[in-house]
Each structure stands twice: as structure tokens, then as C-alpha cells.
Structure 1
Amino acid sequence: MRKPIIGITSNLDSIAATSASHDEFVFVRSNYVNAICENGGIPLIISSKIESEDAAHIVDSLDGLLLIGGQDVDPRFYGEECLIEYCSSIQDSGVPYKRPLRDKPNHLRDEFEIALYFAAKKRKIPIVGICRGYQLINVAEGGSLFQEIEINDVLHTILPDDIIPDHEVLLQENSHAHQVFGATCFMTCSIHHQGIKHLGHDLIATGFAKDGLIEIVESPDPEHFLIGIQGHPERSCKQFYEHNSLFSSFIQACIDFRYRSQHQKLPA
């Protein structure tokens, strides 16, 4: 049996290349791709410029879906006006309510990835959402986000000197996440300024930071491998074994899905 094909969503940005002018690039940080390859999957990069009505056709070719990090989710999808000013002059991570232009929401990307998520969910294709991907899953399920997380005892965002802070994640015992990560507490790295405010309808929160912010969500359906994580396991999977356990479990779930799909008729 061939390796499972994992669709990976992508970012779109205007980047200076070999000339003084900027070109538009579709790109994925290599650590997402590496995490899939090193655990036995075949990565397939999906452009966000694809039309939403084609999402189901893409999913038909996949054994798993990885929703990656990137721009903020457009708050109009959860019924709020945008409270953040996105500025081209900011080259670092910015400050609350004043963020770099690269973080500005892309409504069409959100629309497409929400369609992609629901198409994968309908077929019970294994799904992992990381950072923005985790937030997008929550918004797709009718939840909402903090546009800026209040700074308390836990540092959730990159520091001005570009140091990425780590913090603990506490998992509920006997949850799917507990089984996948093999622990009830582990460290994660955080470079996000938004997070879940109201949990989506068809999700269970099973991982939390010490300040109470939701860090991990999963599906209530025991037959569907669906995990969203606010941190960045693709960055630290070689440092913390629990993070690589997520990717190895994800790939195994994709292998199992492919096997089942070959032996039974799945919903169209």
C-alpha cells in the first residue's frame, strides 16, 4: 500500500525574489512538510487560490488534511468587526491591536479552507489544525476568537527580541489528545496573539494553558481523528517527543482511513 497523501494548506504573500519588485508566492514552511515526510506521509501543497466549490474534489484525493498557521482569521466569520490595525511599517510581531500587514486576514483563504475543512469532516478524513488552522476549525464550527489575548501569567506570543516562549499545556485524562500525546502535561511553543474565546459547537476542549486559555480541541466523534492545537508542534517535534507523537498518530490514522476507504463505501 502506498503512503498516505496529506493535503497541506498554504500561505500567500508578496515576497521580494530575484528582482527589486515583489512577486506573489504560495508557500509552506518546510517544518510542516518535514513532519509529514519524516512520519511516512506524502505532502501535497494546496493553494488557497482554489475556488471553494472545488474543495470537495480536492478532498476526494486525500487521506488526511493539515491546516497550517498563517494570517489571522477574518472576524466577520464569527460576527465581529476587525479591531486590529495591520501596518506595512511593522516588520516584527507588533503589539496588541497593531500588527504587521502579513497577519491581515485573507477572506477568500478563510472561505476556501472552511469549505475544505467541512469536506474533509464529511468524509471523516483525519484532520490536524495548527495555530491558525486550529482557530479556523473553531470558527468553522460557529465559535469565536479573542482578537487579542489578554496578557496574564502565560506568554502566548513571540517576544520583541524574537524569542519564542514555551509554556505548559494541561490535557484532560482519557481524552483522545491524552492518548495521542501520551501525556497529561507537556511544553509547547507559542507565537500567536489570538485564541479561542467561545468554543465551536461540534468540538471538545481537552487541553488548556495554566491561564485557562484553550490550547487543544478534538472531535466528540470517536471515529474521527480531529485534533486542533494552538501551539506549533511542527517547530518543536524534535525537541519534545509528545509533539512528534501527534504527527505519527496522524499519519497512522490516515493509513487506517485509506485502508477502510478501500474496504467500505464512504459517504459521498
Structure 2
Amino acid sequence: MSKLIGITADVFLGETTAINEKLMDFVPRPAVNAVLAAGGIPVSLPYIPKEKINGLLERLDGVIFPGGPDIDPTFMGEEPIPELGVTNRDRDVFEIALVRTAVATKVPILGICRGAQIIDVALGGSVYQDLESQYPGKVLKHHQSAPGDQPTHFVSVDHDSKLFKTIGDNVFVNSRHHQAIKAVPEGLHIVAKATDGVIEGIENDDASVQAVQWHPENMWEHDSRQLDIFKDFIERI
């Protein structure tokens, strides 16, 4: 039986002609297609009240946290810096609670870009509010101008990780983010880095929690290793 995979929805904050009002929930079509290609059934998850999360997870086999806006720094005990981008506190509240409940109830989760960051923050880590201005070293260009389905920099992967078993080492990836993981909490391990040292992958001991900083959903049609991330996630379920 195909596994039901929830994908948390973003919210289009402006007005749209599609429904002639503001606040339209949406899930990126490439992520939907990647889950389908990997053998799962995707389910859109707009943010809902925290008290409904247990009932939601009872119906799902796994959850994917995709990209989206910046994370509100107050969840890390920080005030916002001028370089902080658009945030959506309501989505943060929902996803942080969803991550924590999924981990507590052993529902596997996969993070993509912002998804990696929200998993990290939810479990006690922190992110750079703005990578370029806060990172202590010289950074690569992590918000590419090239088309999103094209790779632009390389990532090294820890050979002892589940991620390495899935995609190998020296992976050529795309890059579309200006926040990034800063500190990883206890229970999670850094399993991939860019050549400038920026964290590009995290997972726990059994990879029931796994996340990458790039966007495999935009590359899987041209790079089978990127689809393997979704396949292995579903197989672990």
C-alpha cells in the first residue's frame, strides 16, 4: 500500500486572482511530483491549530517540510536583524509543533531547505538569520541566479551517514537560501557541508529525521540521486 506523505504548505500572503482573496495555501508541484515518483501519495498540510496535530499525524506515514520564508528568530531567543527576510509566525508555530510531535511519536520526517532549518530550530538548534552577514567565514553564493533545476556548488557527505548510502559523496546541488543552520542540537548529526563549511545536511541516528539544505525536488528529473532521497525516505517508513 502506498504511504501517505504530508507536505507542509506555504501561504501566499498577497492577493491572488485564483481565489480573489489573500492567504492562499499551496504546496510546490515539484515536491508533489517527487513524492509520486518515489511511490508515495502526497497530502497538502496547511497550518492548523497545534491541538489538532496528534490527530493529523495518526493519518500520515511521514511528513516532508519543504522550503519557504525565513524563520522568526524569536523562536531561538533572538531579536530580528535588518537583513531578516519575510517571516510567517503562524507557519513556524505549526511546523515546530509538528516536528516535535512527529519525533516524539516516531513519524519519519524529511526537511528541504527551510525544512532543514525548522527541524533544527524545533529540536533546539539555531540558524543564521542572514548567512552572508553573520557567517564567520567567506561564503559561496548560496542563492543562485541560475535556473533552480541546475546545480551550482558541491557538497561533501559524511561516509558514515545514511545520506551517503543514498547519494554518495561530492554531490552537485542547487542552492536557494539565505538562512542556514548554525548550531545542531543533541540527537542530530551534521552529515553534509558545502566547501565553505556551511551545513547542508543533518540526520539522527536512524535517519527517521533527515534534512538537506538544497532542493532535490527541483533536480530529481535530471539526477536520479536526488529522487533517491525521496525513495529512501519512503522506504524507511
Structure 2: give runs of 5+ residues left out of the alignment. Answer: none
1:70-89 correspondence to structure 2 within 5 Å:
70-84=68-82
Map of 1:239 onto structure 2:
222
Deviates more, 1:55-64 or 1:144-153: 144-153
Three-state SS of the structure 2 residue aligned to 1:124 is coil
Match of residue 54, structure 2, among 53, 56, 60: 56
Q: What is the distance in 1 between the residues matched to 2:18 and 2:154?
A: 42
What is the letter of the counterpart of residue 64 of structure 1?
G
Q: CA deviation at 1:163?
A: 4.7
CA RMSD of aligned residues (A): 1.8
Contact 2:84–2:129 under 8 Å retained in 1: no
Q: CA deviation at 1:180?
A: 2.0
Asked if residue 41 in structure 1 is aligned to residue 40 in structure 2, the reply is yes
Q: Deviations over 1:48-104 (max 9, x none)?
A: 1x10111111111110110111011110001111113xxxxxxxxxxxx274xxxx2
Q: Deviations over 1:133-188 (max 9, x none)?
A: 100011011111111112835210133xx65561111001121111122x111111
Q: What is the distance in 2 between the residues matched to 1:232 and 1:134?
A: 11
Three-state SS of the structure 2 residue aligned to 1:80 is coil
Alpha carbons of 1:253 and 1:158: their partners in 2 closer, same or farther (altered >3 Å)? same
Contact 1:140–1:200 under 8 Å retained in 2: no
Contact 2:192–2:202 under 8 Å retained in 1: yes
Match of residue 250, structure 1, among 225, 233, 236: 233
Map of 2:65 onto structure 1:
67
Contact 1:68–1:129 under 8 Å retained in 2: yes
Q: What is the distance in 2 between the residues matched to 1:189 and 1:18?
A: 30
Contact 1:187–1:240 under 8 Å retained in 2: no
Q: What is the distance in 1 between the residues matched to 2:184 and 2:84?
A: 25
Deviating above 6 A after TM superposition, structure 1's stretches of 4 or more consecutive aligned residues are: none
Alpha carbons of 1:18 and 1:59: their partners in 2 closer, same or farther (altered >3 Å)? closer
Three-state SS of the structure 2 residue aligned to 1:65 is strand
Alpha carbons of 1:120 and 1:150: their partners in 2 closer, same or farther (altered >3 Å)? same
Q: What is the distance in 2 between the residues matched to 1:110 and 1:18?
A: 25
Three-state SS of the structure 2 residue aligned to 1:40 is coil
Q: What is the distance in 2 between the residues matched to 1:24 and 1:147?
A: 24
1:149-228 correspondence to structure 2 within 5 Å:
149-150=131-132, 152=138, 154-159=140-145, 163-164=147-148, 166-181=152-167, 183-220=168-205, 222=206, 224-228=207-211
Q: CA deviation at 1:241?
A: 1.9
Q: What is the distance in 2 between the residues matched to 1:62 and 1:53?
A: 16
Map of 2:129 onto structure 1:
147
Map of 1:138 onto structure 2:
120
Three-state SS of the structure 1 residue aligned to 2:2 is coil
Percent identity between the aligned chains?
34
Contact 2:127–2:181 under 8 Å retained in 1: yes
Q: What is the distance in 2 between the residues matched to 1:80 and 1:177?
A: 31
1:109-120 correspondence to structure 2 within 5 Å:
109-120=91-102
Q: What is the distance in 1 between the residues matched to 2:58 and 2:18?
A: 37
1:15-30 correspondence to structure 2 within 5 Å:
15-17=15-17, 22-30=21-29
TM-score where L is the length of structure 1: 0.81
Structure 1: give runs of 5+ residues left out of the alignment. Answer: 85-96, 255-268
Q: CA deviation at 1:18?
A: 5.1
What is the letter of the counterpart of residue 77 of structure 1?
F
